[in-house]
Amino acid sequence: MAKIKKQPRPKAITPKGFRDYFGEEVTQRSEMLRSIAGVYHHYGFEALESAAVETVEALGKFLPDVERPNAGVFAWQEVDEHDPDSNKGDWMALRYDLTAPLARVYAQHRNDLPTPYRRYAMGPVWRNEKPGPGRYRQFYQCDADTVGTASMAADAEICMMLSDTLETVGIPRGDYLVRVNNRKVMNGVLEVMGLGDDQAAKDNVLRTIDKFDKVGEAGVRELLTKGRLDASGAYIDGVGLSDDQVEPVLAFLTSKADNVAKTFENLRAAVGASKVGAEGIGELEQIGDLMAAGGYGSDRIEIDPSIVRGLGYYTGPVYEAELTFEIFDEKGRKRQFGSVAGGGRYDDLVKRFTGQEVPATGLSIGVDRLLAALREKGRLSATPTGPVVVTVMDKARMADYQTMVAELRNAGIRAEVYLGNPKNFGNQLKYADRRNSPVAVIEGGDEKANGVIQIKDLILGAKIAESATLEEWKERPSQFEVPRGDLVAKVREILESQD
């Protein structure tokens, strides 16, 4: 009889481009989501939880990785129940952002929704892109959008809400800046350049000006004309424009002045007689006036023509939140932290479903980036508090220990009974340390007979152990014997002293 070949064990590894999140990180993210949701709700936005899966048709033009053509989403084809052997089933995909599902939801339910419709959504999105350092195929987004109004007040409100959100989660004023620009102004610049209907040339210009923050004015000029040598010494071909064609772009990118009035004056010079450019400047002026009326000055939100956010996607104002403080990269070099959120007006997205233009504007916050920023600033707790641990001195009295835990939980105190092998008491305290537990409760046979319990302050005990020279700590007891009936009161007293 042939020997049955054993199936190899599966490898216990995380799929490429994904990662696991444990208690501390999950707790920190949950707290951030709660804080962000609080600001969105405060502004009058309502929660929406759409499906994690959409049809590829509904997602429309997704975001393929240039190194993975036609693979921007995780997609699969359903089996046609009427013809299982055919290739006619619908193509489905995990959502790659939270905006495309909103367009589908609004088009589907618009007769039942208020106009304008103000919604916020939070959750994971998936990108089938090549992973890299800090770049994962699954990550969290927090979006807020207003659908159904062309008023610039909606855009101004989004920017003000973004500012408030950053301050609420722990980014103080001075450590961030919300920058605002307008797609229409850029369209006016392209018009003045005389590119006509040459969409390829326009796309090349847009891609080049997106590098302004990296290569500066001289670098953009070179890339738009003859080309340039990059940092590695490789030669990058230029777009091939004339010096005269390039001037409106450079005037646009360098139009930001010390005051808003001068910035607008420079922008008008850059767009010349372009009507669409003038319209974009007018919209920026409205946004600026509305933000000033709300008390949001240039220390929080400013007009900045150098901001370019996927300008092919947006149809009007665009905005980006940048963290302005410096960090050190892996090579010890100083770097600004950079962008953590952005958005803009996209008046054509719902039109794909309805055939009618539906104005919309919104923002998206990258939660993981924001959490990383708070860690850099030391504004996240490194070790979140664990539960109170009720130790087990006698397995036969498990009911007594469960009663204690129930009393603590009923009083609103997070608690658990030690469920491992209780033979070695030292292991129980080690377990409590690994859980970052603030308090351990002990009731052995003697304590039970005398109607008392021992309550150990693990935080204080750890401090005493760290430095025996701290007399002020040594003078305070880290373990207390109290009547059994004082369990909840004493544990609460210790927890409050630790806070």
User: 3-state DSSP call for residue 321?
Assistant: strand
- In terms of residues, how long is the chain? 499
Residue 446 tokens, joined: 């003697």
Report the C-alpha gap between 416 and 413 in whole angstroms: 10
pLDDT of residue 348: 85
158-162, 250-254, 434-438, range with greatest mean pLDDT? 158-162
User: 3-state DSSP call for residue 9?
Assistant: coil
pLDDT tens per residue, range 438-487: 999 999 999 999 999 999 999 887 776 666 555 554 556 789 999 999 99
User: 3-state DSSP call for residue 181?
Assistant: strand
DSSP code of residue 111: G
Among residues 371, 263, 261, 364, the alpha carbon closest in space to that of 320 is found at: 364
β-pairing verdict for 301-303 and 176-182: parallel
Amino acid identity for residue 397 in this structure: R
Q: Distances from the Cα of 191 to the Cαs of 202, 270, 359, in angstroms?
A: 10, 11, 23
pLDDT of residue 214: 79
What is the mean pLDDT of the segment spanning 159-184?
95
> Among 1.10.150.120, 3.40.50.300, 3.40.190.80, 3.40.50.800, what is the CATH number of 388-498?
3.40.50.800
Residue 488 tokens, joined: 């909840």
Provide, rounded to the nearest whole percent, the portion of the chain with pLDDT above 90: 56
β-pairing verdict for 53-55 and 360-366: unpaired
Beta-carbon contacts of 486 under 8 Å, excluding residues fewer than 6 positions away, are: none
Question: What's the burial of 188, exposed, middle or buried (CB within 10 Å: 0-12/13-18/19+)?
Answer: buried
pLDDT tens per residue, range 390-429: 999 999 999 999 999 999 999 999 999 999 999 899 999 9
Beta bridge partners of 442: 454
pLDDT of residue 112: 97
pLDDT of residue 439: 96
Report the C-alpha gap between 88 and 82 in whole angstroms: 10
Report the C-alpha gap between 452 and 443 in whole angstroms: 8
Q: DSSP letters along 443-484, please?
A: --HHHHHHTEEEEEEHHHHHHHHH-TT-HHHHTS-SEEEEEG
Q: Distances from the Cα of 321 to the Cαs of 107, 176, 194, 324, in angstroms?
A: 29, 7, 32, 9
DSSP code of residue 96: S
pLDDT of residue 468: 55
pLDDT tens per residue, range 327-354: 766 666 667 778 899 999 999 888 889 9
User: 3-state DSSP call for residue 123?
Assistant: strand
User: 3-state DSSP call for residue 267?
Assistant: helix
> With bands split at pLDDT 50, 70 and 90, how would you rate the model's confidence at 49?
very high
Domain 23-376: CATH architecture, name and number where available: 2-Layer Sandwich (3.30)
pLDDT of residue 8: 87
pLDDT of residue 308: 74
Domain spans, the chain: 23-376, 388-498
pLDDT of residue 296: 95
Report the C-alpha gap between 345 and 62 in whole angstroms: 18
pLDDT tens per residue, range 359-375: 999 999 999 889 988 88
Q: Pick the residue with more confidence: 210 or 448?
A: 448
Residue 225 tokens, joined: 């004309």
pLDDT of residue 225: 87
311-315, 378-382, 473-477, range with greatest mean pLDDT? 311-315
> With bands split at pLDDT 50, 70 and 90, how would you rate the model's confidence at 204?
confident
Cα distance from N-terminal residue to C-terminal residue, the chain: 69
Beta bridge partners of 125: 139
pLDDT of residue 383: 63
Q: Pick the residue with more confidence: 407 or 385?
A: 407
Question: What's the burial of 288, exposed, middle or buried (CB within 10 Å: 0-12/13-18/19+)?
Answer: buried
Q: Distances from the Cα of 327 to the Cαs of 138, 170, 171, 172, 215, in angstroms?
A: 25, 17, 14, 16, 20
pLDDT tens per residue, range 73-121: 898 888 877 777 777 788 899 999 999 999 999 999 999 999 999 999 9
